[in-house]
Amino acid sequence: MMAKVTKSEGEWRAQLTPDEYHVAREGGTERPFSGRHLAEKRAGTYRCVGCGLPLFDAAAKFESGTGWPSFTRPIEAGHVEEHDDRSLGMRRTEVLCARCDSHLGHVFPDGPPPTGLRYCMNSASLTFEPSER
């Protein structure tokens, strides 16, 4: 089990922009086609905006047409947690950072091979670190 990162609300607010705070700490969702990472095509690693944990490799990113960055799988299964989400009158699977519990987005069973999954993430919950290759 991964050691948790915990911070006060004030510490989170000081670290994150208002949009990042709304999405990562309050479970919000950014508007489709508005996220800073949607059009990112470079090789690299997507990390949690809250604690820097590596979450997704750019090689697992694909164009889903949904308006949010989408990935077929996390960089390591233990880096994300999945929880049942029955908000907004829907049944979905919420995806959280395993280290700091930041809300990342949702996972759906309509992705491409090899996993058939679509990790639909909010750009506001992610930072991007380009690789040096």
Which of the residues are catalytic? Answer: 120
Contacts of range 39-46, beta carbons closer than 8 Å, 24 or more positions apart: 40/69, 40/128, 42/128, 42/130, 42/131, 43/130, 43/131, 43/133, 44/128, 44/129, 44/130, 44/131, 45/75, 45/128, 45/129, 45/131, 46/71, 46/121, 46/126, 46/127, 46/128, 46/129
